[in-house]
Amino acid sequence: MKEEKKMNLAIVTIATCLSIGAGIAIAKDAGTTPSITPKAMADALHLVMDSDRAVYTKRIVNRLVKKEKVIKASEHFEDDKALVLPAQMFRFGAEMVAKRAEEKPDVNFSYSLQSLWPINKQNAPKTDVEKEGLKFVAENKGQNYYATEELGGTEYFTAVYADTAVAPVCVSCHNDHKDTPKRDFKMGDVMGGVVIRIPISG
């Protein structure tokens, strides 16, 4: 009877160890085995970017600039001692991600804010997919654009999300800017797009 108990205990112990071992192995694999589609990944990244930008717009700019009127937001924020515009904050984030990603070979993705009517020519689309995507989101409001493209021997999944004029200042800044190629934006118009690019092979 005693022997049988010992045997049962040994079996339970071995089974428990094996289960834990298998669990650890699965958990290790989960970190390196692809389990999310490029589209879902791009959508998730955009959700984070868009939410962070919306929070900055609402909780910082709307509240401090428009509601409590304690500070201004300005394109020339350093000279004007003002807050950066939401679009500038987004762009600074993209630049920092690009810089930090250089040190992380596994984190090989990029994002940028582009427009068919850019104030700064550097923000114009360069690839055919970017051009087509920006045109699509401008003409099909409420829809995103997804495509694959090959650049420098690597295949990428590229997603384009509409960037919309959400406040009068977006409209007035773009319409009145000396370098703007378009001066008839209205509130709610698609002014450009967020381009997210994820490598899928190569």
User: Using the rule CB under 8 A, is 50 a contact of other proteins?
Assistant: no
User: Using the rule CB under 8 A, is 186 a contact of other proteins?
Assistant: yes
Q: Which among 12-20, 89-97, 124-132, 166-174 is the span making contact with other proteins, rule CB under 8 A?
A: 166-174
The residue within the footprint of other proteins, chosen from 43, 52, 62, 127 (CB under 8 A), is: 62
Cα distance between residue 54 and residue 87, in whole Å: 10
Cα distance between residue 39 and residue 84, in whole Å: 31
Q: Give the nearest distance from C-beta 118 to other proteins in angstroms.
A: 21
Pull the structure tokens for residue 171.
């409209």
Find all residues with CB under 8 Å of 194, minimum gap 6, and list them.
Answer: 46, 49, 50, 90, 111, 112, 113, 114, 160, 161, 163
Q: Which is nearer to other proteins, 28 or 59 (CB)?
A: 59
Q: Give the nearest distance from C-beta 75 to other proteins in angstroms.
A: 18
The residue within the footprint of other proteins, chosen from 63, 72, 81, 126 (CB under 8 A), is: 63
Pull the structure tokens for residue 144.
């995103």
Cα distance between residue 11 and residue 31, in whole Å: 31
Q: Which among 13-21, 89-97, 116-124, 165-173 is the span making contact with other proteins, rule CB under 8 A?
A: 165-173
User: Using the rule CB under 8 A, is 141 a contact of other proteins?
Assistant: yes
Residue 48, beta-bridge partner list: none
Q: Which is nearer to other proteins, 168 or 181 (CB)?
A: 168
Q: Give the nearest distance from C-beta 95 to other proteins in angstroms.
A: 25
User: Using the rule CB under 8 A, is 89 a contact of other proteins?
Assistant: no
User: Using the rule CB under 8 A, is 189 a contact of other proteins?
Assistant: yes
Residue 196 and residue 48 in contact, taking contact as beta carbons nearer than 8 Å = no
Angle subtended at Cα 184 by Cα 178 and Cα 190, rounded to the nearest 5 degrees = 105
Pull the structure tokens for residue 155.
């295949």
Strands 154-164 and 145-151: antiparallel
The residue within the footprint of other proteins, chosen from 54, 96, 98, 107 (CB under 8 A), is: 54
User: Using the rule CB under 8 A, is 164 a contact of other proteins?
Assistant: yes
Closest CA to 162 of 186, 136, 132, 125: 136
Binding site for other proteins (CB under 8 A): 54, 57-59, 62-63, 66-67, 141-142, 164, 166-168, 171, 186-189
